[in-house]
A = this chain, B = another copy of it.
């Protein structure tokens, strides 16, 4: 993840001016629509002109837009569902904080979908916006993804409660699918953290601290996507707007609990990593101590010996020891004694 995705809006443009995110323009957006009620459902891929058509449906409608490269679609949807242009600007602005807004005609939600991209071994995030009106839910994704497929499947097969409840339950189900996916990301992160933990304690390398830093960075950026969610779901749950039925609130409370758990896990991960860097530093200090001990032991043993040998290598004319018969063996004995004394000293200090 980059620290900074892109600008909120082009500085200088009046607020509410719609500008398609540059990197999205190329790909053509795909619009799918579901109409369902308890007994049946229809599903189609629609054209931009079909958006305004089906106004009078009594059933629940779910319009999903994949790709944000065409602002015309947003304008049409905005007109049909009476969406404020600041909201439409927020849909296009992909560096939004997760948020919940109540408007008279609809409720608006922004969330972050998170993936673990195995190829880049990085976490990627995608913005999902949702608009909830009395009998429709609109969802906007940056690119086609498979997280919502399980909801589509449930609608098609009439599994679970989704067909029995209104669009508020649908929005809940979509959010639940997103939050469930956070746990997959957390598990991957948790495994990385447990690996680095073993590495720190058992076999730290010079790469270890960079890896710890990179995990911390990921968690820092994840927090920005996940922390506000707590507030978002709480706001949505406690909202007194007419679009949310009482039965759905029980499910939202469950979702809220899950979000708290994601946040707490993230915080635990973070404290863990902070602690690990300290352990790494102390391990690094210990290795240094080991290296220095070896150097000191070798130097302490041999430098004095070297001096003694040098002493009797001198060429003074009058050095009586050199003439002694036992001079050489006695010196060897002195050397051995000196080594022994130092070894005892090191043992006493617990260096060897």
Q: Could you tell me which A residues sit within 8 Å of B by CB distance? A: 3-4, 7-9, 11-12, 14-17, 84, 86, 90, 95-97, 99, 101, 150, 154, 159-162, 173, 176-177, 180-181, 183-184, 186-187, 190, 193-194, 201, 206, 209-210, 212-213, 216-217, 220-221, 224, 250-251, 253-254, 257-258, 260-261, 264-265, 268-269, 271-272, 275-296, 298-300, 302-307, 309-319, 321-325, 327-328, 331, 349, 351
B322, A97: Cβ atoms closer than 8 Å: no
29 A-B interface contacts by CB (under 8 A): A3-B265, A3-B272, A14-B160, A14-B162, A15-B160, A15-B176, A86-B251, A97-B257, A206-B283, A209-B286, A217-B275, A220-B271, A224-B264, A277-B279, A285-B285, A288-B288, A291-B296, A291-B351, A292-B295, A295-B296, A302-B307, A305-B307, A306-B310, A314-B315, A314-B328, A315-B319, A316-B321, A316-B322, A316-B331
Total copies of the chain: 5
Cα A280 to Cα B282 in complex, Å, equals 8
B186, A4: Cβ atoms closer than 8 Å: yes
Cα A183 to Cα B13 in complex, Å, equals 14
Find the residue from A9, A193, A265, A296 having the highest chain B CB count within 10 A. A296
A315, B322: Cβ atoms closer than 8 Å: yes
A303, B300: Cβ atoms closer than 8 Å: no
Identify 6 new A-B residue pairs, CB closer than 8 A, beyond the known A15-B254, A213-B278. Answer: A8-B261, A15-B173, A86-B254, A220-B268, A292-B292, A296-B298
Query: Which residue in chain B gives the minimum CB-CB distance to A349?
Result: B290
Cα A31 to Cα B18 in complex, Å, equals 34
Query: Which residue in chain B gives the minimum CB-CB distance to A342?
Result: B298
B12, A150: Cβ atoms closer than 8 Å: yes
B279, A213: Cβ atoms closer than 8 Å: yes
A213, B276: Cβ atoms closer than 8 Å: yes
Known: A279-B209, A299-B295, A318-B325. A220 touches B183 (CB 8 A): no
A317, B323: Cβ atoms closer than 8 Å: yes
Chain B residues positioned under 8 Å from A161 (CB to CB): 14, 16
Known: A11-B180, A268-B224, A294-B296. A303 touches B306 (CB 8 A): yes
Ranked 9 nearest A-B pairs via Cβ = A14-B160, A309-B310, A11-B180, A209-B282, A312-B314, A295-B296, A313-B313, A316-B328, A12-B150
B313, A220: Cβ atoms closer than 8 Å: no
Cα A303 to Cα B316 in complex, Å, equals 20
Chain B residues positioned under 8 Å from A282 (CB to CB): 209, 277, 280-281, 284
Find the residue from A84, A162, A193, A217 having the highest chain B CB count within 10 A. A217
Cα A137 to Cα B99 in complex, Å, equals 31
Cα A217 to Cα B86 in complex, Å, equals 35
Query: Which residue in chain B gives the minimum CB-CB distance to A262?
Result: B8
**A147 CB, nearest partner CB in chain B, Å:** 9
